[in-house]
Amino acid sequence: MSHRVKISPSILSADFARLGEEVRAISEAGADYIHIDVMDGHFVPNITIGPDVVKALKPYSDRPFDVHLMIAPVDPYVDAFADAGADIITFHPEAGAHMHRTIQMIKARGLKAGLSLNPATPINILDAVLEDLDLILVMSVNPGFGGQSFIESQLKKIEEIRKRIDEIGKDIELEVDGGVNFDIAPRVIAAGATVLVAGTATFKGGPTAYGKNISTLRGQS
Ligand code: DX5
Ligand code: ZN
């Protein structure tokens, strides 16, 4: 079962003064999704962007907006991000007490629901909700910042989650986020990922390099 891996560039590494053009450039360069890292300075120690920016970016791309919420609480903001144009909303189980309810809220808006596991979050958090999810995001760095180093122990976790998904036979995306560069991408794909998030590795070299960066990450150099 080898289908083409998707690339979801994290716009955290884009030029924020030209964000619309950057989103257009990565879309034209072959990005499958647009990964938007939303941070609140509370759940993680950094502050990034909110729903108004997501809404402003929507006309710049026809690719699904892959919104990664690193905020707590999540539930009061689901509607705002759905209205802004999110296609996938991924959140962290530690962000609230009612993970199942949050998943249902996202799905009730007609969006895909993702759950993100921090490096120290165990796989068994998936036990009761696996069948409800459209996407599982394995964090291969501690969330908060771009440009960190890939944490090797997460490869085994990716393999184990791959097995769990295959066992139930549901088409759940397995996305990996943090420190994914040209050397690490093939290992993450071999472990069973179907979507790679890449900020630093996509945006290095500026717009003329985006196409090559994305195809290299995908393994077609
Ligand atoms: C980290 C974010 C990531 C990060 C990826 O909290 O979720 O999406 O920006 O950036 P790189 O690819 O530079 O590690
Ligand atoms: Zn992310």
Question: What's the pLDDT score for residue 3?
Answer: 73
Q: Give residue-wise pLDDT tens across range 155-203.
A: 999 999 999 999 999 999 999 999 999 999 999 999 999 999 999 999 9
Which one is catalytic: 37, 40, 66, 134? 37
Which homologous superfamily does the CATH classification assign to the domain defined by 6-218?
Aldolase class I (3.20.20.70)
Question: What's the pLDDT score for residue 1?
Answer: 44
Write the burial class of residue 12 (CB in 10 Å: 0-12 exposed, 13-18 middle, 19+ buried).
buried
17 Cβ neighbours under 8 A, 6+ residues apart = none
3-state helix, strand, coil in the chain (%, to 5): 40, 20, 40
Question: What's the pLDDT score for residue 2?
Answer: 54
Is the peptide bond prior to 51 cis by the omega test (within 30 degrees of 0)? no
- Going by C-alpha positions, the residue among 55, 82, 43, 197 that lies closest to residue 135 is 197
Asked if the model's pLDDT at residue 96 lies above 80, the reply is yes
For ligand 1, what atom is nearest to the CA of residue 180?
12
Closest listed ligand to the CA of 188 = 1
Which one is catalytic: 40, 79, 177, 183? 177
Asked if the model's pLDDT at residue 10 lies above 60, the reply is yes
Structure token pair of residue 199: 């900020």
Q: Give residue-wise pLDDT tens across range 207-221.
A: 999 999 999 999 986
DSSP-derived 3-state class of residue 186: helix
Closest listed ligand to the CA of 7 = 1
Q: Give residue-wise pLDDT tens across range 35-83.
A: 999 999 999 999 999 999 999 999 999 999 999 999 999 999 999 999 9
Q: What is the mean pLDDT of residues 122-146?
A: 98
Question: What's the pLDDT score for residue 221?
Answer: 67
Say which amino acid occupies 94. Answer: E
CB-defined site of ligand 1, < 6 Å: 10, 12-13, 35, 37, 68, 141, 143-144, 146-148, 177-180, 197-201
